[in-house]
Amino acid sequence: MQEIVQYLFSGITTGAVYAVIAVGLSMLYSSTELINFAHGEFVMIGALVMVTLWVRIGLPLPLAMAGAVGAGCVSGLVFERFAIRTARNPEPITLIIITVGAGIFLKGAAMIIWGKDPFSMPAFSSHESIEIFGAALLPQSIWIVSAALVLAGGIHLFLKQTLTGKAMVACAVNKKAAWLSGIPSEKMGILAFGISTGCGAVAGIFIAPITMSAYDMGTILGLKGFCAAMIGGLGSLWGAFAGGLLLGILESLGAGLISSGLKDAIAFVLLLLILYIRPGGLFAAKEAKRF
């Protein structure tokens, strides 16, 4: 019992990180129909910038966080401007390769800037854990889960309550119709890009105190984010969030109860099962369709 609760706690914590990554991917997909294979690299940028600003330079925590998110947004916008928008013939497979190329580029740049050694970062708050059912719950976990909820809630409110957000949803539903009714769909795509990579950077900030951060941490995190987004249903905000939590919990239980070596396989087995049984995801927003 105690063990299982402990696994649940750590599962929910990593799950919240996956959820934030998945939310970013899912948002981008719903407004631009683009799957960003470089998404994990923005998580890496967020984590490494955070480590640099907070630990190395010693900026106050909120400022360091803002800086890390800003770095994620700005690098995402630069990537959108120079690589995605200049592509003449945006066929999906071409775009996939461009994002893969961008991912390799960002990884290479990070390796030059930060070197190959991993960095660790202290927790945001004190390390005294709370005991529930004999299992230790770190304040860190509460921090991360609540911040993830606030972020997803914020995006939800933005999409439902503000005019810009509604315009973005309109673009996601039908780009041409939105354009015809006067919504600058190009700009909405750029905005979605910024929010998406910003979310990636937020996930990076969360994960920096949990694991070691290094230039090559992004790829697998990005892939796990896809799995989470697919499990929840591509294009659905809360679906992606739930998918992330579910993935984190199952991974943690699987690693604890079955084998830690097979931990990474769980995400992909789950992905295949979902694709075979319910290709639209558990909480499907759109039906599985062509490119």
Partner 1 sequence: MAIKNNYIRIEYLVFLCAVSAFGFVTENTYYLQIMTFIGINTLLGLGLNMLMGYTGQVSLGHAAFYGIGAYTTAILSGTYGINPWLSLVCAVAAAVFIAFIVGLPTLRLSGYYLAMGTLGFGMIVNIVIREWAAVTGGASGFVGIPVLEAGPLIFMSGANYYFLVWGIVFAAMIVCRRLLASRTGRALRAIHDGEKTAVAIGINTHLLKLEIFIFAAALGAVAGFLYAHFVLFISPESFGFMFSIKIVTMVVIGGMASVWGALLGATVLTLLPEVLHGFAEYEMIIFGTVLMVVMIFMPQGLTRGIMDMIRTAGRART
What are the residues binding partner 1 (CB under 8 A)? Answer: 35, 83, 86-89, 91-94, 96-98, 100-109, 111-112, 219, 223, 226-227, 230, 234, 259, 261-262, 264-265, 268-269, 271-272, 275-276, 279, 288-291
* Least Å from the CB of residue 67 to partner 1: 23
Using alpha carbons, list the distances in angstroms from residue 141 to 53, 144, 170. 22, 5, 35
Residue (150 or 265) nearer to partner 1, CB: 265
Quote the CA–CA distance of 207 and 43 in Å, as a whole number. Answer: 9
- State the minimum distance, in angstroms, from the CB of residue 4 to partner 1: 23
- C-beta of 148 vs 228, nearer to partner 1: 228
Vertex 106 angle, CA 104 and 203, to 5°: 110
Minimum distance between the CB of residue 96 and partner 1, rounded to whole angstroms? 7
Q: Return the number of the residue (8 or 45) whose C-beta is nearest partner 1.
A: 45
Q: How far apart are CB 285 and partner 1 at their closest, in Å? A: 14
Nearer to partner 1, 33 or 166 (CB): 33
How near is the Cβ of 79 to partner 1 at its closest, in Å? 9
Contact in structure between 15 and 33 (CB atoms under 8 Å): no
Q: In terms of CB distance, is 67 or 76 closer to partner 1? A: 76
How far apart are CB 117 and partner 1 at their closest, in Å?
14
Shortest reach from residue 264's CB to partner 1, in Å: 6
Query: Which of 164/259 has CB closer to partner 1?
Result: 259
Of the pair 38, 145, the CB lying nearest partner 1 is at 38
Q: Nearest distance from residue 200's CB to partner 1, in Å? A: 17
Residue (67 or 244) nearer to partner 1, CB: 244
Contact 35, 29 (CB under 8 A): yes
DSSP the chain: -HHHHHHHHHHHHHHHHHHHHHHHHHHHHHHH----TTHHHHHHHHHHHHIIIIIII---HHHHHHHHHHHHHHHHHHHIIIIITT-SS--HHHHHHHHHHHHHHHHHHHHHHH-SS-B----SS--PPEEETTEEE-HHHHHHHHHHHHHHHHHHHHHHHSHHHHHHHHHHH-HHHHHHTT--HHHHHHHHHHHHHHHHHHHHHHHTTTS-B-TTSHHHHHHHHHHHHHHH-TT-HHHHHHHHHHHHHHHHHHHHHT-STTHHHHHHHHHHHHHHH-TT-TT-SS-----
